[in-house]
Amino acid sequence: GGRWTPSPSSWAQGLRGKSLAHTGMAFVSGDQIKAAIPASVVMFSGCKDDQTSADVQNPGGAGGACTNSMLEALEQSSDYSWVTLLMAMRQILARGGFSQIPMLSTSRQLDLNTPYRAVHEQPGGAFRAVMIGINYVGSANQLSGCHNDVKRMQQYLLGQGYAEDGMRLLLDDGSHESPSKSNIMAAMKWLGEGARAGDSLFFHYSGHGTSIPDDNGDEADGMDEALVPLDFNEVGFIRDDDVLKTLVLGLAEGVQLTCVMDCCHSGTIMDLPYIFKAQDEALDDVISGRRSGMDENGAFNLNEVMGLVALMGGPDDLMGFLACFVQILGCLATQICASSSTTN
């Protein structure tokens, strides 16, 4: 069945939703992005925002389509580039009769022909992982493969340099930490606490995802993507802004975070600045050499990200936000003037 849950019918707030909120990447430089998101972040997602993920059956038991296709590909070979891994995942999904389009989202421009890795490029630091599997046992939204996803992903990571004492597993199986909203948020925070340059972090979520009305004007389509904790009926969802703020924005420069989001509406759950959708034409373009890089995410909202950074920190973060905001305004004004001078 589809991994979908029905949607329910500060000074920074004043800046959100204004004209700069959806200007896209045209006015954003790589240095500005690095200042806002210092860490290197890579996210695999099971489908685009307008698609639903699904459970699959495989010899190892039930599992999510994204997790299954990724791990099946990695069991066949360890010699992948980013693009060839996405292509292998796409082929495995197609063989199973699934139409999902895997996506890659990153905090940095990435050459898709470089080798895939689940650890830091120079892994000299700590290894830490959080894995969440929610089957919603006994509910109308019950899934069957999420616990198995976590167990398979754990075995994969143990072969990549991660160790059990650096892992935190949240499962609704009665024997692990419960995947409640508060526990998931605490685990996200734990993952990045004290992380330093050279550290390798991994986050895996297998469960329901949903799309709910945007609550602060930062989404061009008016909708937030969200994770669905076990106790969502009582405490609500985990919005994409909360994921970004808790999991990503506090990480230091030089930290590597790899994420796998196996849920519906997961394409931009972290709102990162670069994306690549593994559609046929895009894959062919990279394999043939017509392109090698990620696409700019036109919906990336630097204003929103810097606002979150400022609200998380102290005066230094506030001054950094204001400086960045002024720089964006100056760039915008320059481009408007240049446009006016060429048309008059």
Q: Which residues are catalytic?
A: 208, 264
Ramachandran sector of residue 174 (left: φ over 0; alpha: ψ -120 to 50; beta: rest): left
> In the block, which residue shows the tokens 């373009």?
285
Question: What backbone phi and psi angles, to 5 degrees, belong to 132?
Answer: -125, 125
Torsional sign, CA 40, 170, 63, 227: negative
- 108: DSSP letter: S
Torsional sign, CA 65, 297, 39, 314: negative
DSSP H stretches of helix in 54-172: 65-76, 82-95, 146-158
**CB 234, CB 173: distance < 8 Å:** no
Q: How far is residue 219's CA from residue 23's CA, in Å, rounded to a whole number?
A: 11
Torsional sign, CA 56, 57, 59, 63: positive
Q: How far is residue 3's CA from residue 119's CA, in Å, rounded to a whole number?
A: 28
Torsional sign, CA 75, 207, 46, 144: positive
